[in-house]
């Protein structure tokens, strides 16, 4: 008997819903803080060109592969892989690729919600004027106090996680679909206001210099790995999210145009985020720094010392929280669909079970800044850093690689051969994407072990 060709989760009626929900998942902490900074530090324009190359040659082909797997089967990542492996006469073990993808999403969600919780805490603080006329020292104190106070962290993290659970619990149309329609335009609006503000009060030319100067000397082998890794992270691939979303995509949709559109929106958002952040940072004479600490130290200081700073600072952290929320729902969804379709667990119960699991896991991340500060999982890494490193450097490229091999070499793809860009896509997957991911995977692994 032929399987019924529709997911148990329902489907989006319009292509634009897929576009918005996927863009929401792609636009996240990666775009707002990480991209502008790594671009600036790794040669600016030269790095952006390299990143563009990574998106085109690795990101987009894998993004398409993930979407096709979901769209063809209309099932959760595990069942989808299982069905396609069976059709191609391949081992059922391929379904583990789907399973590991879903689990990686949950691991990432556990520390993602912690950072989002910091964002929420800062939103409240900024609004109340806590950063008004404060210097770096005082603001760093606020951050250190937050990190040493698991209860404060827990409060905001739990609130954020509950919102994520609520959205996913509402289902594919009323939850994920509506969230995309509301949050993506909202993010564009907030970013637009922030750029206008930065433009009028900040040092735009220093920001443009920092981000777009063409400094090939700052490029090295490591920048290449950074660009490739970030392409994965920023496009939200390697965690089953795009398989799940592909399953909800309307039947007659041009996958290449959708994927191309999401990738472009993601890149533009990242560049414009840089043009909102750096003018303010430079105008305050602060250094464009690195990592989560600086988003939570330099930027509040900069806002706190500018006109309307409390309000604009709150707006910035609101943007961070909305961006994190629209990404976080995509991290939870694949596993929820999996429990529902394979184990028959109703969506609300699945959301609750996985929410509790993620919450427990995130306790470990939160305690790794205080009570468990001295616990090292592997050399020098605390629990938070370990979970981040494990998912970003090992699980994510691992899933990406396996998927590229499966779709490029194993799956029966001839039925797509009449589609536009088919030959180019398969050729890239086979001869460019697969070896490129293998290289980052092995290098990351060596770095991890060394």
CA 370, 375, 379, 383 dihedral sign is negative
Q: Based on CB atoms, which residue is closest to ligand TRP, 30 or 43?
A: 30
CB atoms within 10 A of CB 359: 18
- Among 94, 118, 143, 233, which residue sits at the site for ligand TRP (rule: CB under 6 A)? 233
Measured between alpha carbons, how far is 73 from 95 in angstroms, rounded to an integer?
Answer: 13
Nearest residue to ligand TRP by CB is: 28
Interface mask (CB under 6 A) for ligand TRP, residues 387-406, using x and -?
--------------------
Tell me which H or E stretch contains 174. Answer: none
Measured between alpha carbons, how far is 350 from 343 in angstroms, rounded to an integer?
Answer: 10
Stretch that binds ligand TRP, among 26-34, 93-101, 142-150, 380-388 (CB under 6 A): 26-34
Q: How far is the CB of 292 from ligand TRP (least distance, A)?
A: 12
- Among 191, 239, 277, 286, which residue sits at the site for ligand TRP (rule: CB under 6 A)? 239
> Would you count residue 298 as binding ligand TRP (CB under 6 A)?
no
- Among 7, 25, 79, 368, which residue sits at the site for ligand TRP (rule: CB under 6 A)? 25
Q: In 231-350, at which residue ranges do the beta strands (DSSP E only) sit?
A: none
Q: Based on CB atoms, which residue is closest to ligand TRP, 282 or 441?
A: 441
CA 156, 113, 111, 341 dihedral sign is positive
Q: How far is the CB of 327 from ligand TRP (least distance, A)?
A: 4
Q: Are 388 and 111 in contact (CB under 8 A)?
A: yes
Interface mask (CB under 6 A) for ligand TRP, residues 121-160, using x and -?
----------------------------------------
Site size with ligand TRP, rule: CB under 6 A: 14
Q: Based on CB atoms, which residue is closest to ligand TRP, 85 or 331?
A: 331
Give, in order, the Cα–Cα distances in Å from 179 to each of 171, 236, 328, 377, 379: 10, 17, 11, 36, 40
Q: Based on CB atoms, which residue is closest to ligand TRP, 272 or 367?
A: 272
Measured between alpha carbons, how far is 433 from 425 in angstroms, rounded to an integer?
Answer: 10
Tell me which H or E stretch contains 50. Answer: helix 45-54
Task: Count the alpha carbons within 13 Å of 13 in the hemisphere toward its beta carbon.
Answer: 4
> Would you count residue 330 as binding ligand TRP (CB under 6 A)?
yes
Residues near ligand TRP, by CB under 6 A: 25-26, 28-31, 233-234, 236, 239, 241, 327, 330-331
């Amino acid at each position: 008997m032929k399987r019924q060709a529709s997911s148990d989760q329902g489907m989006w009626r319009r292509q634009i819903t897929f576009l918005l929900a996927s863009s929401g998942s792609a636009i996240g902490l990666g775009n707002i803080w990480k991209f502008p900074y790594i671009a600036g530090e790794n040669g600016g324009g030269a790095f952006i060109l390299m990143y563009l190359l990574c998106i085109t040659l690795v990101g987009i082909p894998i993004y398409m592969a993930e979407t096709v797997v979901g769209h063809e089967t209309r099932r959760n990542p595990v069942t989808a892989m299982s069905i396609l492996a069976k059709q191609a006469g391949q081992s059922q073990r391929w379904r583990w690729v789907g399973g590991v993808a879903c689990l990686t999403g949950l691991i990432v969600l556990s520390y993602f919600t912690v950072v989002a919780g910091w964002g929420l805490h800062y939103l409240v603080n900024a609004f109340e004027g806590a950063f008004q006329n404060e210097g770096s020292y005082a603001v760093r104190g606020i951050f250190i106090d937050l990190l040493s106070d698991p209860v404060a962290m827990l409060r905001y993290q739990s609130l954020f996680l509950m919102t994520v659970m609520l959205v996913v619990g509402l289902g594919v149309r009323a939850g994920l679909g509506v969230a995309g329609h509301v949050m993506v335009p909202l993010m564009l609006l907030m970013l637009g206001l922030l750029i206008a503000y930065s433009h009028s009060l900040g040092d735009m030319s220093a920001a443009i210099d920092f981000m777009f100067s063409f400094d090939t000397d700052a490029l090295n082998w490591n920048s290449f790995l950074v660009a490739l890794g970030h392409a994965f992270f920023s496009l939200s691939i390697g965690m089953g999210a795009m398989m799940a979303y592909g399953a909800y995509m309307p039947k007659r949709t041009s996958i290449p145009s959708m994927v191309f559109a999401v990738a472009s929106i993601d890149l533009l958002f990242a560049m414009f985020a840089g043009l909102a952040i750096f003018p303010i940072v430079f105008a305050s004479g602060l250094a464009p720094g690195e990592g989560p600490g600086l988003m939570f130290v330099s930027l509040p200081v900069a806002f706190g010392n500018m006109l309307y700073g409390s309000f604009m600072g709150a707006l910035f952290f609101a943007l961070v929280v909305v961006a994190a929320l629209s990404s976080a729902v995509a991290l939870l969804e694949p596993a929820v669909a999996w429990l529902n379709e394979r184990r028959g667990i109703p969506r609300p119960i699945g959301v609750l079970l996985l929410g509790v699991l993620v919450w427990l896991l995130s306790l470990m991340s939160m305690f790794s800044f205080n009570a468990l500060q001295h616990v090292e999982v592997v050399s020098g890494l605390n629990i938070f850093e370990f979970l981040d490193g494990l998912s970003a450097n090992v699980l994510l490229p691992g899933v990406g690689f396996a998927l590229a091999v499966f779709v490029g070499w194993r799956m029966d793809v001839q039925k797509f051969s009449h589609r536009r860009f088919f030959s180019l896509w398969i050729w890239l997957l086979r001869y460019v994407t697969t070896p490129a991911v293998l290289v980052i995977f092995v290098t990351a692994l060596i770095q991890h072990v060394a």
